[in-house]
Amino acid sequence: MLNERIKSLRLNRSMSQVELADRLGVTKQSVSNWENDNIQPSIEMLVKIAKVFNVSTDYLLSLDDRKYIEVTGLSDQTIAHIQLLISDITTKE
């Protein structure tokens, strides 16, 4: 579960294990071990992984499947526009 979430998030962003490892300050082997479910990241590393992928730790741990879009720094008008786009998309699916 955690291993699958990490791998899926990494691949969906076209990121290699080396790139993720570099962003987290760990070795490629650490990332590989997490993705192969050989070891679990520490709590501190779990928080770093969540920040890299802009998801919650609950999402990584499969406790919450909600997904969020980071809008910090955008104007209220832009945020409202994004919300309308999301609403239009979800009502058409």
The token pair that represents 44 in the structure block: 């501190």
2 within 8 A of 40, measured Cβ to Cβ: yes
Q: Which option is the CATH number for 2-60: 1.10.260.40, 3.40.50.300, 3.20.20.10, 3.40.50.150?
A: 1.10.260.40
From CA 92, how far away is CA 76, in angstroms rounded?
A: 25
- Of 6-20, 45-59, 62-76, the range with the lowest mean pLDDT is 62-76
The token pair that represents 77 in the structure block: 């008008």
Provide the 10 A C-beta neighbour count for residue 28: 14
pLDDT of residue 67: 78
pLDDT of residue 93: 67
pLDDT of residue 78: 95
Domains of the chain: which residue ranges? 2-60
DSSP 3-state assignment of 19?
A: helix
Instruction: Give the global pTM.
Output: 0.77
47 within 8 A of 57, measured Cβ to Cβ: yes
Predicted confidence band of residue 73 (pLDDT cuts 50, 70, 90): very high
Whether residue 52 is predicted with pLDDT greater than 80 in this model: the reply is: yes
The pLDDT tens digits for 9-49 are 999 999 999 999 999 999 999 999 999 999 999 999 999 99
